[in-house]
Amino acid sequence: MRHPQDDQLALFAGGDLGLLDRLRLRGHVRGCDACRRSVESYRSAAARLREETAKLPAGLKWDSLAAEMTANIRVGLAAGECVAGVTSKPALMTWKPALAVLALTLVVLSGWWLNFPQEQRANLARGMQGIWNRDARNVPDPTVYLEANRAGIQLRENGSAMTLMHPDRAPSVISVSTQGAMRARYVDSDTGQVTITNVYAQ
Amino acid sequence: MSEFAQPVERVPEAHQELQSRFVSDHLRRIFLLIYRIVGNVDDAQDLTQETFIKALQRQDQIKDLEKAAHWLSRIATNTAIDFLRRHGRVSFSDIDDLPEPVSASPLESPEALVLQTERREYLEAGLGTLTHRERTALILRDVEGLPAEEVAAQLNCSKATVRSHIANARTKFRRYLERRKT
């Protein structure tokens, strides 16, 4: 006869097997003295465990221990309440007032926008879009600019600028090429010397 | 007014009474449950206190007393299992280490007390042969009488794993008792 494994008997003794296994083992245990004794032994060990563990540890003075634990629990709860009282801060705003403030802000902004003169509104929109496009992407403007003014010829690119300063006097002629160049010509009235400055942008 | 000077809201008296009754009704049961899992009086004392403080801080949970008892057992088991995970040990108090002297009940003779102590030590040594998961599974299933599904939920593992823990624990414990008999 083939006997069930020990762990199967242990589970059977405690009623922890599934229906089919339980029925199979029940049939075997009825006809097998050794396995029946084994199952009884498991049940007796469990009963003994239940009986002994229901008792307090030997030598323990329960009354004084219980009083001490009860007092400590009270102290712990009181401390917890104090800490909760100090640390819990009231919420700044609940969702209803927050929603009301948001709605009011939207109404004010819409009114302001609609009352703005048409031309300024378009300029503002363009300006905002420019700021958004430039700043949001955080990419410097890659266009190369050449500009002539009284100080000299300035080259601007990627947010940087370089100015080629004129002599003290203003240039007599400034010419601009569509190929991306700027030219300034100076004539010294005392000596008649001619100075020409060419700046090419690529 | 500084935040420390703010008055702390006091627990109503009726609620304090309910808390006290809740503690006195369940203290012994919870202490024993934790003691069986951690196997040490000092640790069991600390963990029992911690369990009650955790439970009573959720005041809404103790309205239904029957549910609260079950819920308290669950907190106790989790607290004890967490403790064992952190410390990775199960150690039984030596009787000589107990802070209080052995007190003989007038109904018990010194011989009966010695016998009881020996039986207890013998049983505790048997439980000490199990791993902490086997021991917890065995206690929850065979002593507390929880179904295997609930034991699995408390140990945070599958039912198959918990059945394996229970079977191993029963087999080891029975073998220990039989070895000591011979």
Reduce the DSSP state of residue B145 to 3 states and report it: coil
* Full domain range(s) for residue B54: 14-94
- Residue A78 lies inside a defined structural domain of this protein: no
- Residue B101 lies inside a defined structural domain of this protein: no
Assess whether B81 and B18 both reside in one domain.
yes
Predicted confidence at residue B5, as pLDDT, reads 45
Assess whether A157 and A176 both reside in one domain.
yes
CA-based radius of gyration for chain A: 47
Predicted confidence at residue A86, as pLDDT, reads 56
- Residue B4 lies inside a defined structural domain of this protein: no
Q: What angle is formed at CA B92 by the lines to CA B87 and CA B95, rounded to 5 degrees?
A: 140
Assess whether B60 and B80 both reside in one domain.
yes
Structure tokens at B103: 């007190």
Assess whether B28 and B86 both reside in one domain.
yes
Does residue B107 register a pLDDT over 80? no
Chain A neighbors of B167, CB-CB under 8 A: 6-8, 10-11, 16
Predicted confidence at residue A125, as pLDDT, reads 79
- Residue B8 lies inside a defined structural domain of this protein: no
Q: What is the pLDDT of residues B27-55, one digit of tens each?
A: 999 999 999 888 889 999 999 999 999 88
How many Å apart are CA B14 and CA B22, to the nearest integer?
A: 12
Which residues 75-134 of chain A have a CB within 8 Å of chain B? 76-77, 80-82, 85-86
**DSSP letter string, A91-120:** -S--HHHHHHHHHHHHHHHHHHHHTS-HHH
CB A184 within 8 A of CB A171: yes
- Residue A60 lies inside a defined structural domain of this protein: no
Assess whether A194 and A175 both reside in one domain.
yes
Segment among A34-38, A69-73, A188-192 with least mean pLDDT: A188-192
CATH number at residue B25: 1.10.1740.10
Token look-up 């295997």 returns B148
Predicted confidence at residue A107, as pLDDT, reads 92
- Residue B7 lies inside a defined structural domain of this protein: no
Structure tokens at A182: 């700027």
Predicted confidence at residue B126, as pLDDT, reads 87
- Of the residues B61, B94, B127, the one at which a domain ends: B94
Closest alpha carbon to A143 in A127, A129, A161 = A161
Q: What is the pLDDT of residues B141-165, one digit of tens each?
A: 999 888 999 899 888 889 999 999 9
Assess whether B89 and B115 both reside in one domain.
no
* Full domain range(s) for residue A31: 6-53
CB A8 within 8 A of CB A24: no
How many Å apart are CA A128 and CA A102, to the nearest integer?
A: 22
Mean pLDDT of chain A: 82
Number of domains chain B is built from: 2
- Of the residues B27, B61, B94, the one at which a domain ends: B94
DSSP 8-state assignment for residue B99: S
How many residue pairs from chains A and B have C-beta atoms closer than 8 A?
Answer: 132
Chain B neighbors of A57, CB-CB under 8 A: 35, 41, 93, 98, 120
Does residue A200 register a pLDDT over 70? yes
- Of the residues B49, B66, B94, the one at which a domain ends: B94
Q: What is the pLDDT of residues A121-133, one digit of tens each?
A: 777 777 888 777 7
Q: Which ranges of chain B would DSSP assign to H, the alpha helix? A: 13-38, 41-57, 65-87, 110-128, 132-138, 148-155, 159-181
Number of domains chain A is built from: 3
Q: What is the pLDDT of residues A138-172, one digit of tens each?
A: 666 677 888 887 778 888 887 778 888 777 666 66
